[in-house]
Amino acid sequence: MCRSIRTLFNFEPPATDEEVAAAALQYVRKLSGSTSPSKANEEAFDKAVEAVAAATRELLDSLVTTAAPRDREEEAAKAKARAAERFGTAS
């Protein structure tokens, strides 16, 4: 479930609100143990996703580094190569 949470800091261009929201959703899903809440828990689930997204955005906006920003395409290619090596796929 949390495998889709990716590093969002120090990329050019910076992480989008959609990426932050997706990471927050995956985090809340992992903590709650469900991919979709029941109607009774839907409001609490949605509030938690919003709170985690806001905290994530605040964190990303306040972090500083002297390292050069990472390239998204380059990082994606590295991840694809690691997956091919790990799972023996060439796709």
Please give the pLDDT value at position 5: 73
70 by DSSP, 3-state: which?
strand
Count of beta carbons in the 10 Å neighbourhood of residue 15: 20
Mean pLDDT by 10 residues, the chain (91 residues): 75 92 94 93 96 97 94 88 82 54
Q: What is the pLDDT of residue 90?
A: 56
Structure tokens at 44: 């609490």
What is the Cβ-side half-sphere exposure of residue 24, based on CA atoms within 13 angstroms? 23
The whole model's pTM is what?
A: 0.80
